[in-house]
Amino acid sequence: MPVAVPHDLDEVFAALEAEPEAELLAGGTDFMVETNAGRRRPRSVIALRNVGELGGWRRKGGDVVLGAGLTYREMLEPSFATLVPALAQAARTIGSPQVRNAGTLGGNLATASPAGDTLPVLQALGAGISLRRSPQEERLVTVDDLLTGPKHTSLCPGEVITSVRLPASRGMQEFLKVGPRNAMVISVASVTCIVDFASKSVRISLGSVGPFVLRAEAAEALLAERMDWEARRLPAPARDIADVVELVRSAAAPIDDQRSTATYRLHAVGVCAERAIERILRRAA
């Protein structure tokens, strides 16, 4: 049968062994759009929707473990959203209610679009991604390891994304996404900013302004350096933020395409970074 609908991971691996060419199908929101357009011609498919181990999320110590099959709709549930606010904020902007009901985290990772909205959040949170090829073989990678280019990953054939591990309730989180419509819009620039006053760390990740999600490391370092961590404020906020934003912009490598221009993306990513930092500082005060 060219379509397998396994119920657990063992069955998935068995199906993959039997049919090494088989393509994995999760929510179908990328897979089927490509198939309908004739850009993807699967000869055999393994549908992951019924695989219990891939679904849901759970706490593990100070972390949260998200199944690859976690849907955007599930990320919006308050119990989850309070643990990883930026991911919930990103999830709410993805597609439509229909897409959020079907689309999954694993699918967003595997599609590896530069505009994939969960990717900068996962990167900023230092997510650990579990990949498995068989019941025994597990590989743990970061977002940076996984993403190798626009729509390209380091996934090996037959490798399944099983789960993603993130720190729970890490710092103050902001996700901002810019698009030309007020709903159902693919990002033309996004910023994820996380400032953790406990560990005195800053993370800034940028979406849609490069071949894959980009971390603005120099900007992170400067913000961490300028921050008065005890007082939870910047000594000279206007200048400090402007300097950080400058570095955010220099981390971006946007292009012109049918959705926007490189100049605007560069501009917007700076504006969003500035706003993210201001919002976090306002809340921290």
Partner 1 sequence: MSAPELLSYRLWVNGHAREVEGGRLEESLLYVLRERLGLTGTKNACEEGECGSCSVLVDGRLECSCTILAASAVGRDIVTLEGLSPGGGATALQLAFVEAGAVQCGFCTPGLVVAVTDLLARVPEPTDDEIREAISGNLCRCTGYGRIVEAVRRAARAQAAGMRTAP
Partner 2 sequence: MIVTKAPPLPRLGKSLRRPDGMAKARGVFKFSSDLDEPGMLWGHLVRSPHPAARIAEIDISPARAMAGAAAVLLAGDVPGRPTYGLNYPDQPVFASDEVRHVGEVVAAVAADHPLTARRAAEAVAVRYEVGEPVTDPEVALRAAPVHPLGNVLAEQRVVRGDVAAEGDVVVEGYYETGMQDQAFLGTEAALAVPDGQGGIDIYVATQWLHIDQDQISASLGVPHDQVRVHLAGVGGSFGAREDLSMQIPLCLLALRTGRAVKMVFGREESFLGHVHRHPARMWYRHSADRSGRLVKVEARILLDGGAYLSSSPAVLSNVACFAAGPYRVPNAFVEATCARTNNPPCGAMRGFGSVQVCVAHEAQMDRLAAALGMDPIELRRRNALRPGDDLVTGQVLEGAVPVIELLEACSSAPLPPERHWETTEPGDLALPGGSGRAAEPLRVRRGVGVALGFKNIMFSCAFDDYSVARCRLEGGRVTITTAAAEVGQGLVTLLHQIAGEVLGTDEVVLAEASTVGIGSAGSTSASRQSVMTGGAVQAACQAVADAVLAATAARVGVPRASLQLAGGRVVSDDGCVDVPVAEAGALCGECFEETVTYQHAATAELDEKGQGDAHVAFVFSAHRAVVDVDVDLGLVKVVEMTTAQDVGRVLNPLQLVGQIEGGTSQGVGFAVMEELIVEHGRVRNPSFTDYAIPTALDMPPVRIAALVQEPQPGLPFGAKGAGEPPAISSTAAVLAAVRDATGVAVNRAPVHPPDIALALAPGTRAGQGDAGVTPS
Ligand X SMILES: Cc1cc2nc3c(=O)[nH]c(=O)nc-3n(C[C@H](O)[C@H](O)[C@H](O)COP(=O)(O)OP(=O)(O)OC[C@H]3O[C@@H](n4cnc5c(N)ncnc54)[C@H](O)[C@@H]3O)c2cc1C
Q: Which of 6, 43, 11 is nearest to 26 (CA)?
A: 6
Binding pattern to ligand X, positions 185-204, x when CB under 6 A?
A: -x------------------
Q: Who contacts 86 (Cβ-Cβ below 8 Å, separation ≥6)?
A: 121, 124, 125, 173, 174, 175, 192, 194
* Distance of alpha carbon 126 from alpha carbon 208, whole angstroms: 19
In 106-254, which ranges are E strands?
A: 128-132, 138-141, 147-149, 152-153, 160-167, 172-178, 189-196, 201-207, 214-215
Q: Who contacts 38 (Cβ-Cβ below 8 Å, separation ≥6)?
A: none
* Distance of alpha carbon 250 from alpha carbon 239, whole angstroms: 17
- The values of phi and psi at residue 54, to 5°, are -85, -10
* Distance of alpha carbon 95 from alpha carbon 275, whole angstroms: 23
Is residue 31 within the footprint of ligand X (CB under 6 A)? yes
Q: How far is the CB of 246 from ligand X (least distance, A)?
A: 28
Return the range that interacts with partner 1 (CB under 8 A); candidates 99-107, 110-118, 155-163, 188-196: 99-107
Q: How far is the CB of 267 from partner 2 (least distance, A)?
A: 6
Give Cα 194 distance to the centre of its chain: 14
Binding pattern to ligand X, positions 80-119, x when CB under 6 A?
A: -------------xxxx--x--xxx-xxx-xx---xxx--
Q: State which of residues 180, 198, 230, 285 lies at the interface with partner 2 (CB under 8 A).
A: 180
Is residue 263 within the footprint of partner 2 (CB under 8 A)? yes
Which residues would be at the binding site for partner 1 (CB under 8 A)? 1-3, 5, 25, 27-29, 31-33, 35-37, 41-45, 47, 49-50, 73, 95-99, 101-102, 183-184
Which residues would be at the binding site for partner 2 (CB under 8 A)? 36-38, 89, 92-93, 174-188, 257-261, 263-264, 267-268, 271-272, 275, 278-279
Which residues would be at the binding site for ligand X (CB under 6 A)? 23-31, 33, 48, 68, 93-96, 99, 102-104, 106-108, 110-111, 115-117, 160-161, 186
